[in-house]
Amino acid sequence: MPYLAAEDRYDSIPYRRTGRSGLKLPAVSLGLWQNFGDTTPLDTQRAILRRAFDLGVTHFDLANNYGPPAGSAEKNFGRLMAEDFRPYRDELIISTKAGYKMFDGPYGEWGSRKYLLSSLDASLTRMGLDYVDIFYSHRADPDTPLEETMGALDQAVRSGKALYAGISSYSPARTREAVGILRELGTPALIHQPSYSMFNRWVEGPGDGAEGESLLDAVGELGLGVIAFSPLAQGLLTSKYLNGVPEGSRATKAPSWREGFLTDEVLERVRALNAIAESRGQSLAQLAIAWVLRDQRVTSALVGASSVAQLEDNLAALTKLDFTADELAAIDEHAVD
């Protein structure tokens, strides 16, 4: 059956302006990091993407290395794009990134012009696209001059292969520097993509900016948007691990992640936060998403989902975004500083 998008797709969820740009993003966006590689059946991927778009999620976030194996998420997305979403290209914001290891040798990672521009070409080929909406430097490279990395982003935009430039996981000081260079080049930076959740609050600072300026303060002042990745702490901030480790969950696929994060102390925090969510009539996943969106500088919460049910649970967060001061204080007690 050819896919026909739901007619009421723009009636469900709110859109927020990305910093001081003209671009709006859905308050929840969908990332294709772990659940869209060759280890996930294509029909599952298709169902999640279709449901997301039918519910108004216009932004899909990728990177060159998403899979597993690296590159397969873009390849699979390209197939679904061709089969399902081609008529809707102008309604979609598709992003990709380069920065982490994609292939062996000196040109397969970090921030050189050589790597970024060839990687963007390869991403476009895998996805079967003429352009992406946002091209990111995936991480700051301590050994490449920032002028070179930002020059590559500028080139990507000028060549028409990307509409906007973004940076991911840059510190506040590096962010200010990068944004300044891009401004001089005439390609404003659109967005910053940092990790942010109740278990990871580094963006709130203090950061390495002047007088300890935090990332949120820096991007707020510079007029960039923020898209918060892993707002569910990769699934920890849901109820899924409260009664053991379900088969097929991320914790079973990544034992080292499980050992590092799924500790008794963390589970105690999860239980307490789950009780707060219940008192609000929400799931813990919904509480976690609403919590990152409580700051208006955050444009979008960038979630992952391994099923349609998870996606629907997450999007329902958007029906209750307000918090009382007491609720926020209670969350602070159990969140990680």
Nearest to 208, CA basis, from 162, 171, 155: 171
In terms of DSSP bridges, do strands 15-17 and 24-26 run parallel, antiparallel, or are they unpaired? antiparallel
Closer residue to ligand NDP, CB minimum distance, 34 or 72: 34
- What minimum distance in Å lies between the beta carbon of 246 and ligand NDP? 7
Closer residue to ligand NDP, CB minimum distance, 117 or 198: 198
* Three-class SS state of 226: strand
Q: Determine, following the binding rule CB under 6 A, whether residue 193 of this chain makes contact with ligand NDP.
A: yes
Rounded to an integer, what distance in angstroms lies between the CA atom of residue 49 and that of residue 307? 10
Q: Which stretch binds ligand NDP (CB under 6 A): 157-165, 182-190, 234-242, 269-277?
A: 234-242
- What minimum distance in Å lies between the beta carbon of 185 and ligand NDP? 22
Q: Which amino acid is at 88?
A: Y
Please identify the residue of the shown chain whose CB is closest to the bound ligand NDP: 31
Residues 104-143: x/- map of binding to ligand NDP (CB under 6 A)?
----------------------------------x-----
Q: Which residue among 52, 124, 290, 305 contacts ligand NDP (CB under 6 A)? A: 305
* Three-class SS state of 270: helix
DSSP string for residues in 301-317? EEE--SSHHHHHHHHGG
Q: Which stretch binds ligand NDP (CB under 6 A): 82-90, 157-165, 223-231, 262-270?
A: 223-231
Q: Which stretch binds ligand NDP (CB under 6 A): 50-58, 121-129, 204-212, 296-304?
A: 296-304
- Which structure tokens are listed for 264? 């008794």
Within 10 angstroms of residue 69's Cβ, the number of other Cβ atoms is 12
Element of type H or E holding 299? strand 298-303
Q: Which residue among 26, 48, 310, 327 contacts ligand NDP (CB under 6 A)? A: 310
Rounded to an integer, what distance in angstroms lies between the CA atom of residue 330 and that of residue 280? 12
Q: Rounded to 5 degrees, what angle do the CA atoms 288, 133, 296 make?
A: 35
Q: Which residue among 240, 287, 316, 331 contacts ligand NDP (CB under 6 A)? A: 240
Closer residue to ligand NDP, CB minimum distance, 60 or 85: 60
Q: Determine, following the binding rule CB under 6 A, whether residue 299 of this chain makes contact with ligand NDP.
A: no
* Three-class SS state of 304: coil
Closer residue to ligand NDP, CB minimum distance, 19 or 99: 99
Rounded to an integer, what distance in angstroms lies between the CA atom of residue 195 and that of residue 229? 5
Q: Which residue among 127, 302, 315, 335 contacts ligand NDP (CB under 6 A)? A: 302
Within 10 angstroms of residue 266's Cβ, the number of other Cβ atoms is 17
DSSP string for residues in 42-56? HHHHHHHHHHHHHTT
Q: Determine, following the binding rule CB under 6 A, whether residue 234 of this chain makes contact with ligand NDP.
A: yes
Residues lying near ligand NDP in the complex (CB under 6 A) are found at 31-35, 61, 138, 168-169, 193, 229-235, 238, 240, 249-250, 285, 302-306, 310, 313-314
